[in-house]
Structure 1
Amino acid sequence: MSSDDEFRLALVGAGRMGRHHLRALAGHRTVRISHVVDPVPQARAAVVAAGLPAYPSVEDMLADAAPDGLLVTAPTGRHGALVAAAAKAGLPVLCEKPAGLDAAEAAEAGRVAAAAGVGFQVAYWRRYVPELRRLRERIAGGELGEVLFVAASQWDGEPPAAAFRTGSGGIFVDMGVHEFDQIRWLTGQDVARVAAQPAGHVTDPAVRGRDVDSAHALLGLSGGGTALVSLGRHYPGGDMAAVEVFGTRDHVRLMFLDPADGDATMYAALARQAEDFAELVRTGRSEGAQVADAVAVLDAAHRATAQLTQSHEVHPDR
């Protein structure tokens, strides 16, 4: 820990999500990104131009710096190797969701971190949105009664680049893990059953057979209720996310990510998440997602994905 008790994070991955974290923590009082790692020269040049030191690898960065933790925002396929590098160096890790392309990878990342005795947290930022936290408290306190149905939606303004999509694991692993985690966290229930269906056409031929532009999953929850996960990559105006809960006593609907507000909600939650990670490192206490959460979510996402691959819309040979 730095002498002034400021918590310094080394960011690994200066792509889209990495830039979001940089903006969210710019000027933060107690947590800051002090170093950046990215193998792409252009990405490093942009970081250096913004006033931060940048390195091509974690090893190069560690030869020159001693951060308090590693924030992993690199592509999902690199999460395991980066967690292992951090564990070898004795660095706690805040790893962007989903912490692996499947449940086995997420479990292995957690095992490696635990064996090294370093803190490990998975970055599901919605757990730090005040409206969602209040909804969770109301559900836990019984104000909504028995939860009968949860509808969770995430629709992006436009699809990401084909290069990202073909390595992301598909729409349920890339996007839907947020909804699966949110439903489990809000209700305190596990996903017992999954039925999934794609919707619409794939607009980018480069990803046909690897991903879809829209998909939906109907979940059976361990408490007896049901849930719907609705995902899409074409929402006019920008990115949106909403949740609706129907209980025997009350009903709540929240659009907590509204295109009219831009990314303000996410940035505030990312900052709170970084503060909570610092608390994990300092005291061992955290309200964030842990290894078991990441494993359960990826298991559900892969059950949904397996059903998509059997359909006409995503079969690469049809």
Structure 2
Amino acid sequence: MKTIMVATDFSERSDRALRRATLLAKHFGAAMSLVHVVDDDQARRIVESEREIAGRLLHELATTVRDVDGVTCATRLILGAAFAGIAQAVEEIAPDMLVIGPHRRQALRDVFIGTTAERTIRTVTVPVLMVNAAPTGPYRHAMLTTDLSEGARCAARNFSTLEIGRGARISILHVFDAPALRLGMRHAMPKSGKEHYLDGESKNAARALSQFVHSSELEPIDKIVRHDESTPAQEILNTAKGEAVDLIVIGTHGRSGLAKFFLGSVAEKVLRNADRDVLAVPPSTAP
């Protein structure tokens, strides 16, 4: 990893992202680029005032990163809509990874247009790290998630290339469905029959996951299968908590593809509800 870009709005959320990015930059010997977007859909005097203030704040942050942390740090100030400005900066700077803070939860607005974080992740072609937890050191346990699709395979390989989990325990989770338990057969099955059926589905899922890992050249890696008792996103979050995962890795292209990355998708629900860091990885970093 050579370049890490951090999008900041100078909030406490962004400070968390900056700290994690700094730790990663020191770990990899990478350079950092701090980016702030000033909303230009305002009165000109307000835009000019915000640009001046933002320029000073960016300079102060970059100076601290360089002088205190010893990390090379550049800055970029862009006028435009937040997600569009960030996407523009990604295209111009071409970082290996973009780091952002968690989105602000504005429920009604999010339902109709999505958060800046989500819109950014849909737009850019580089991995995006959403920092939800306070950074305290290197990641200890990174958990990939997979639906066994080709998109998930490519995202997993790109995660391996990124090496953000270097030195950490790496595991991969597959949440499997048990169709008969979702249909009208649930109540018709005796308890022993349900257990037998679920055991068989679990073994099938484990075999499928092992084949996926082998064909993706991801070994050695810990393999985890979980039955989808609620929703795939909730099972991912529950497993992350139970396994003490501090980095969830999720592909932005699954069986539906990026064009159908709609409200309610697994990736979006994980991003919105995770209390730990989430790395959203596209299957290809090529434009």
Q: What TM-score, normalized by structure 1, do the two folds share? A: 0.33
